[in-house]
Amino acid sequence: MIRVAAGGVSVDIDGHRIVADAALAAEPGTLVGLIGPNGSGKSTLLRTVYRALRPVAGRILLDAEDVWSLSPRDSARRTAVVLQDDTGEFAFSVREVVELGRVPHRGLLDHGRAADAGIVERALADTGVVHLADRMVATLSGGERQRVFLARALAQEPRLLVLDEPTNHLDVRAQIELLEMLSDLPVTVVAALHDLNLAAAYCDRVHVLADGQPVAEGPADEVLTPELIRAVYGVDARCTTNPLTGRRAVHLAALTPEPHVLEDHP
């Protein structure tokens, strides 16, 4: 597990400021959610955490070390990434994809060490895809593929797991199973999420972005208020407790028009 601390992060792409003065904090072993409308800068901020984008200002620290002071190999040994449309390995079997997670730990002459095989098997088991090991990834459902990519990330033995919209295209059961799994992992997890209910139910803390700007951050049950949701998403909300789980639940509806008050005229 690892501590993430980012502050004053600004990112420009093609001369446009996409993220401005953003912050991100994740204590070891916690699940932290990045939430906000489409185009709010969630994915861009995540990309600075796993070194896909260098910010023009600010720093991203992993246990007090700037990520840009690390070599790509050292960074890959600490941080694993699962993207929302990860389609690059569809021509491989499940086992072959999960084995790719061991690449950052191998030397030039290492090929399939016995220790690697044990780690791969454990990652397959922990994500419930052992029975799919010999299947081609292209033949799997969206939920099964997401588990495979998570298994590849776990085979990397990261201390930080970064996920960009991990529940995208998953059915309800697969979404819940994935978030349950993430909240039980012995790693620090930072995930961009669309679903406010999932964020409210599973995240220890959330950071809210809108138009590339930080809006709020803190414990999910304190940050996700009807007032904030209305201001950021433009919808009405009511927050309750889910009677099945005891976790926070968010109910959403279209904005109710403000009542029109007729003026009295003499």
Q: Is the pLDDT of residue 112 over 60?
A: no
Percent helix, strand, coil in the chain, to 5, is: 35, 30, 35
What value does the mean pLDDT take over residues 206-225?
A: 92
Task: Domains for the chain: give ranges and CATH numbers.
Answer: 4-254 (3.40.50.300)
Could you read off the pLDDT of 157-197 as tens digits, one per residue? 899 999 998 888 788 888 888 898 888 888 999 999 999 99
Q: What is the pLDDT of residue 113?
A: 65
pTM of the predicted protein model: 0.86
Residue 157: name the closest of 128, 178, 126, 133 by CA.
126
Cβ(236)–Cβ(230) under 8 Å? yes
Burial of 187 (0-12, 13-18, 19+ CB in 10 A): buried
CA distances from 48 to 11, 21, 34, 76, 145 (A): 8, 13, 13, 14, 25
